[in-house]
């Protein structure tokens, strides 16, 4: 892998991370302050986008740049698990379990839908 690809992954990672923060905040505000819904929306959008990218069968460098750099930092397992833990810690266990199970099921469906449209 070339140095340019390494730099590109880092740069696109920064863009994806900022886009995640903005997206989570915007959706969370519209959902009455429920940031976990923002995390869910961002992760599902990223799953769909990754499905499109994979469905287009890009070369390895493009997959690293877009899939790992941009979308890997846009979506995040750690943010999801934090939101689930917060719900559990706040006594909203069924919502935490629903968020976790729903994220996995809907994420897989979004990825498949993205691949189907590519």
Q: What is the pTM of this model?
A: 0.91
Q: Give the tens place of pLDDT for each residue, 23-46.
A: 999 999 999 988 899 999 999 999
**Structural domain tally of the chain?**
1
Task: Give the pair of three-digit tokens for residue 87.
Answer: 């719900």
Inter-axis angle of helices 35-55 and 3-30, to 10 degrees?
Answer: 140
Q: Which long-range contacts (CB under 8 A, 24 or more apart) does 24-32 make?
A: 24/79
Which residue range is the domain that position 32 belongs to? 3-117
Q: Is the dihedral of CA 104, 42, 40, 102 positive or negative?
A: negative
pLDDT at residue 117, rounded to an integer: 97
């Amino acid at each position: 892998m070339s140095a340019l690809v390494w730099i590109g992954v880092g740069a696109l990672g920064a863009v994806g991370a900022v886009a995640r923060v903005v997206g989570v905040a915007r959706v969370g505000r519209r959902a009455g302050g429920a940031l976990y819904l923002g995390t869910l929306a961002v992760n599902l959008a990223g799953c769909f986008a990754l499905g499109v990218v994979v469905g287009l069968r890009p070369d390895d460098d493009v997959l690293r740049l877009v899939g790992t750099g941009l979308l890997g930092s846009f979506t995040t397992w750690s943010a999801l698990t934090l939101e689930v833990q917060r719900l559990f810690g706040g006594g909203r266990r069924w919502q935490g379990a629903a968020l976790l199970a729903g994220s996995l099921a809907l994420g897989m469906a979004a990825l498949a839908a993205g691949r189907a449209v590519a």
